[in-house]
Amino acid sequence: MAERPAALLSVGFLLLLLTREGMTNTGPISIPIRLTVENDLFNMAPESFSSSVAEGGVLLGALRRLQEAQPDFKFTVKDHPDFGVFLQSVNGVAGDEHKQTYWEILSENSGEYTRLDVGIGCYAPKADEHIILRFSTWSSRKQE
């Protein structure tokens, strides 16, 4: 008699597993992000875009998807053997060692800006996150 609840429990567990499997078979969940390109150094007006990436996917994926969909957004990258992908240029504007310029990557939330502590190939954006690509300079002192 005590076997029946146990059997029902097993069937329930199996159904739960099958449902979960079914959900993953529909493909990864896509999360939306916002992206703003800022270049005050060239007095350019900020440009805003929307993109998306698979949940748990990296910012590079969202940038690639945007580049495929949007003719007004282009970027290039440079590979580093240790740190992965360095964002080299955005919309034809490239960072320059001599001029000490580069594309800084930030996340904005309620007017607060946080500099990402990893590159675009490692950073996994959150749903509706606002990412800023800001053309910036670095001082002669080495910084992060």
Query: Taking a C-beta distance cutoff of 8 angstroms, is the pair 66, 57 a contact?
Result: no
Cα angle 21, 127, 105; round to 5: 130
Q: Which of 36, 57, 65, 86 binds ligand B12 (CB under 6 A)?
A: 86
**115, 126, 127, 128: which one binds ligand B12 (CB under 6 A):** 115
Question: Considering beta carbons, is residue 30 or 130 the nearer one to ligand B12?
Answer: 130
Nearer to ligand B12, 31 or 87 (CB): 87
**Phi/psi at 74 (5° precision):** -135, 150
Measured over the CA atoms of residue 95, residue 101, residue 106 and residue 112, the dihedral's sign is: negative
Does 3 interact with ligand B12 (rule: CB under 6 A)? no
- 61 belongs to the binding site for ligand B12 (CB under 6 A): no
For position 21 contacting ligand B12 by CB under 6 A, the verdict is: no
Query: Closest CB to ligand B12 among 30 and 91?
Result: 91
Q: How many residues bind ligand B12 (CB under 6 A)?
A: 22
Alpha-carbon span 16 to 11, nearest angstrom: 9
Q: Which two tokens stand for residue 52?
A: 């998306």
Binding residue (CB under 6 A) for ligand B12 from 3, 97, 99, 112:
97
Q: With CB under 6 A as the contact rule, which of the stretches 3-11, 42-50, 64-72, 112-120 interacts with ligand B12?
A: 112-120
Closest to ligand B12 by CB, 15 or 118? 118
**Nearest CA-CA partner of 35 in 19, 47, 45, 25:** 47
| Contact set with ligand B12 (CB under 6 A) | 80, 83-87, 97, 102-105, 115-120, 122, 138, 142-144
